[in-house]
Amino acid sequence: MANRTSTAQRPNGATQGRICQFKLVLLGESAVGKSSLVLRFVKGQFHEYQESTIGAAFLTQTVCLDDTTVKFEIWDTAGQERYHSLAPMYYRGAQAAIVVYDITNQDTFGRAKTWVKELQRQANPNIVIALAGNKQDLANKRMVEYEEAQAYADENGLLFMETSAKTAMNVNDIFLAIAKKLPKNEQTTGPGGSGQGRRLVEGDTGAKTAGNCCK
Amino acid sequence: MDYELPSEFDLIVVGTGMIESIVAAAASRIGKRVLHIDSNNYYGGLWASFNLDSISNILNSASNIETNLEVKQFLTENEKIYQFGNDAFHMHTHSQIWHIPEKANEQTETEQSDLPTECIQKEEESWTQEKLLKNSRKFNIDIAPKLHFARGDFVELLISSNIARYSEFRSVSRVLTWLNGQLEVVPCSRSDVFSSTKVSVIEKRMLMKLLTSCVDGDEKEFVGYENKTFRTYLKDRKLTDNLIHYVLYAIAMATDTTPCLEGVENTKRFLSSLGRFGKTPFLYSMYGSGEITQAFCRLSAVFGGVYALSQPLNGLIFNNENKFKSLLCGQQRISAEHLVMGIEKLPKEFVNFTATQFISRAVFVIDRSIMASEKENLTLLLFPPEDGKNPCTMIEVGPLTGTCPKDTYIVHMFTKQTTNPEEDFKHCVERLFGNSKNESETGEKENLLPNVLWSFYYTVPNTVNLDLKNGIPKNIFVCPGPDLDLDYDPAIAQAKAIFNEIYPDLEFLPRAPDPEEIIIEGEDNNNIVTEGENLTDQPIDEATEAVADLQIETSNDHGEGSSGIEQGEAE
């Protein structure tokens, strides 16, 4: 395989040029701005009346941290959360999750807590969870206090930021904070982890393993 | 926050079984408005996977039909309403049994600290119901386990439709058979044949020659065998008894009466899937076969399909010409041109067929592999027919598949039913598992047979060959339940047939675009992500990302499980 060369070029054991791929899932009540956050992060765009993006199974974006390149494969719920029908497959093997709520809507914060519980129960035990209080640009209509969310995040070991997909506030930062917190050396092990299976791909590229970090 | 469902669709799909999910995905994919709805609170219907807690409740899962609801009030003149569901096509449990104590003996636990290390270890190894149930969520127990031929219809469909990116697979690492009173590895690839110590040099040559002629499919080779059995053909080729066993019972998955040409076809199906993703022709879905239905459902949702589980499905509404109009969900009428539904959801009034064939199935949670080795195996065991018993297919999965906790394995068995599951598998269970025998064989740990911790025997009607159009309104399409095929070939064929009937001339699951190909409205090519930001760690540009792509793809051949499964690898 032609692309094997790029592996060989990497100095053995050196930390330079390390590339890690992670599956990141978005969770949260409908209309809190999950897709908008991704669109801002991946494409730098914001649409006030964003319709759910037909056909976007997931988007990818890469960030650089000192010596490491972190590639996020970002999964959107595709609307399956609307009637509480998100498939377990969605968070299988996810190494990171952003649980989003709308700071102008107390109910969405309650729902976010339910999602955190669900992840703690069902997902990979080492998953990095970030809580995003979105729509910070509407802070004058705030219904969820910053301190309340911060305290909840601290109690549960979550990263926490208030974000605005509209103004781009903290959008890159929250992804970067996750990238920094993700384990980039060890393999995720144990049956709850991912990257042990194999994606089936057309052609001669073999298959792609999600979420494994290469040395 | 509860949202009301839209009240009009092109297609409503009731039930989230395999065939239903493929049809839902295919219809959404071509832009049809699809509602995929289920009264169950889980995906997969009769094809689902369950954790240990929930599998014991699948049969008494609370139905949320509002029996007190006066449904007539939702009908207009001349309309009729039928309740969903029938008793004829569900699975039937024979037994679900624990073979271990509920809790650890408390006395032993308090004494434990004084005992030497070995004893403590031994104590830790013993399972209790309590301990196993604590790990309940680590289980994904299939009720319709499947393997996938690496070049079969299913794998090709996953790849061509781009659904493959949602799921991960592991390759089956060995194919076993029961021969001369013990488990034997079936040499199935060229390298297996040549490295096998159980096959003599002459046999190796005979076997290779035979396999080659089956694959090449020279017509002349099989002239005169049209009405003869595959066994006769193998005998005429002067294969030894051992070789006949391997080819007939394992590679061709046949019986003594299988016609020659069918045996040749089966052999081809096996051999043509070799060398793509591993040492054997088979793959297994990580986290269980139930994941597959969810992958199709996700594709449907990504293309706009509306998903609603746990719904109070109160009935199907028909007009006076017996045409399906709407379904009643809670108190809401939802209409569509067409309805696709799983056979177990069919109203009693439409059950005009009865299953004549049944599938015996069993699941065992065991404490070690049926044939332990240094590394964890994923095993297909083809138990040959004997004494009037049908051949039994068994799949053993371990913790690396994400379907059971550490230090346990799951064995699935299925066969065409002759009497009942207990009887149909009795001879296999006696030979493979050692609950009664181990005590007398203490000392020789390597030879210990696995102990059964939990067992579940059940029967499923085989509905794949029924005429599911008989007496069914024209705009309703009924999907059969799981069949005996090792892979999903019949399910895909059924789904495709239903799709083509509803949407003739439209493409069935064309390739979905990759993330990079999706153009979002108003997009330009600048990377605006970093614009105006004061970040030092910025997302890198596309060129760097492309390099990253390449490098990631090369990084996937480490780890025990994925070794040796590069595509295109020589046999």
Sequence ranges of the domains in chain B = 8-90+287-354+466-502, 186-277
Cβ contacts (< 8 Å) between B520 and chain A: which residues? 39, 43, 45, 53, 56
pLDDT mean over B241-250: 94
The residues near A213 (Cβ < 8 Å, ≥ 6 apart) are A18, A19, A20, A21, A183, A184, A185, A186, A187
**Contact with chain B for residue A210, Cβ under 8 A:** yes
The residues near B407 (Cβ < 8 Å, ≥ 6 apart) are B125, B367, B368, B399
pLDDT mean over B4-24: 97
Q: For residue range A144-171, what is the model confidence (pLDDT) as tens digits?
A: 999 999 999 999 999 999 999 999 999 9
% of chain B beyond a pLDDT of 90: 68
Cβ contacts (< 8 Å) between A54 and chain B: which residues? 302-304
Q: For residue range A39-51, what is the model confidence (pLDDT) as tens digits?
A: 899 988 888 876 6
Our CA-based measurement puts residue B286 at a distance from the nearest CA of chain A, in whole angstroms, of 6
Q: What is the pLDDT of residue B67?
A: 65
CATH class assigned to B186-277 = mainly alpha
Q: How far apart are alpha carbons A69 and B551 in whole angstroms?
A: 11
Interface of A with B in 58-97 (CB under 8 A): 58-66, 69, 71, 78-80, 82-85, 87-90, 92-93
Q: What is the pLDDT of residue A137?
A: 96
Interface of B with A in 116-145 (CB under 8 A): 137-138
**Contact with chain A for residue B346, Cβ under 8 A:** no
Cβ contacts (< 8 Å) between A178 and chain B: which residues? none
Q: Quickly state the pLDDT bin for A191 (edges 50, 70, 90).
A: very low
Q: How far apart are alpha carbons A140 and B293 in whole angstroms?
A: 44
3-state secondary structure (DSSP) of residue A60: strand
The tokens of B60 are what? 């008494």
Q: How far apart are alpha carbons B59 and B48 in whole angstroms?
A: 13
**Contact with chain A for residue B566, Cβ under 8 A:** yes
Encode B162-194: b = buried (16+ Cβ within 10 Å), e = exposed.
bbbbbbbbbbbbbbbbbbeeebbbbbbbbebbe
3-state SS record for B243-281: HHHHHHHHHCCCCCCCEHHHHHHHHHHHHHCCCCCCCCC
**Contact with chain A for residue B222, Cβ under 8 A:** no
- In chain B the first and final C-alpha atoms are separated, in Å, by 56
CA distances from B67 to B14, B83, B345 (A): 19, 10, 16
Cβ contacts (< 8 Å) between B539 and chain A: which residues? 61-64, 172
- Closest-CA residue in chain B for A105? B1
Encode A78-96: b = buried (16+ Cβ within 10 Å), e = exposed.
bbbbbbbbbbbbbbbbbbb
CB contact under 8 A, B556 and A1: no
Cβ contacts (< 8 Å) between A192 and chain B: which residues? 138, 402
Ranges A190-194, B194-198, B475-479, B497-501: which has the least confidence: A190-194
Q: How far apart are alpha carbons B428 and B482 in whole angstroms?
A: 23
Q: How far apart are alpha carbons B461 and B90 in whole angstroms?
A: 7
**Is the confidence at residue B520, as pLDDT, over 80?**
no
Residues present in chain B in total: 571
- Closest-CA residue in chain B for A65? B537
Nearest to B552 among A21, A64, A90 (CB): A21
Maximum pairwise Cα distance, chain A: 57
Burial class (CB in 10 A: 0-12, 13-18, 19+), B87: exposed
Q: How far apart are alpha carbons B130 and B509 in whole angstroms?
A: 45
Our CA-based measurement puts residue A171 at a distance from the nearest CA of chain B, in whole angstroms, of 9
Cβ contacts (< 8 Å) between A188 and chain B: which residues? none
Nearest to A6 among B545, B550, B568 (CB): B550
Interface of A with B in 112-141 (CB under 8 A): 121-122
pLDDT mean over B405-419: 97
Question: Is ipTM strictly over 0.90?
Answer: no
CB contact under 8 A, B168 and A172: no
Nearest to A89 among B298, B532, B555 (CB): B298
pLDDT mean over B36-59: 91
Superfamily of domain B8-90+287-354+466-502: FAD/NAD(P)-binding domain (3.50.50.60)
Our CA-based measurement puts residue A98 at a distance from the nearest CA of chain B, in whole angstroms, of 18
Cβ contacts (< 8 Å) between B529 and chain A: which residues? 40-44, 61, 172
Please give the helix or strand (H or E) that residue B542 lies within, else none.
Answer: helix B542-554
Q: For residue range A90-130, what is the model confidence (pLDDT) as tens digits?
A: 989 899 999 999 999 999 999 999 999 999 988 888 999 99
**Is the confidence at residue A4, as pLDDT, over 80?**
no
B395, B403 in Cβ contact below 8 A? Answer: no
Ranges A181-190, B321-330, B404-413: which has the least confidence: A181-190
Q: What average pLDDT does chain B have?
A: 85
**Is the confidence at residue B2, as pLDDT, over 90?**
no
CB contact under 8 A, A197 and B168: yes
Beta strand pairing call for A68-75 and A128-134: unpaired
Nearest to B548 among A57, A71, A199 (CB): A71
Q: What is the pLDDT of residue B571?
A: 31
- Closest-CA residue in chain B for A92? B287
Nearest to A45 among B302, B522, B553 (CB): B522
Burial class (CB in 10 A: 0-12, 13-18, 19+), B559: middle
3-state secondary structure (DSSP) of residue B366: strand
Residue scoring higher pLDDT (B521 or B70): B70
Residues present in chain A in total: 215
Cβ contacts (< 8 Å) between A176 and chain B: which residues? 535, 537
**Is the confidence at residue A214, as pLDDT, over 60?**
no
Q: Quickly state the pLDDT bin for A16 (edges 50, 70, 90).
A: low
Q: Which of B553, B558, B563 is the best substitution to test chain A (most A C-beta atoms within 10 A)? A: B553
Ranges A4-18, A22-36, A155-169, B414-428: which has the least confidence: A4-18
Nearest to B537 among A21, A176, A204 (CB): A176
- Closest-CA residue in chain A for B309? A85
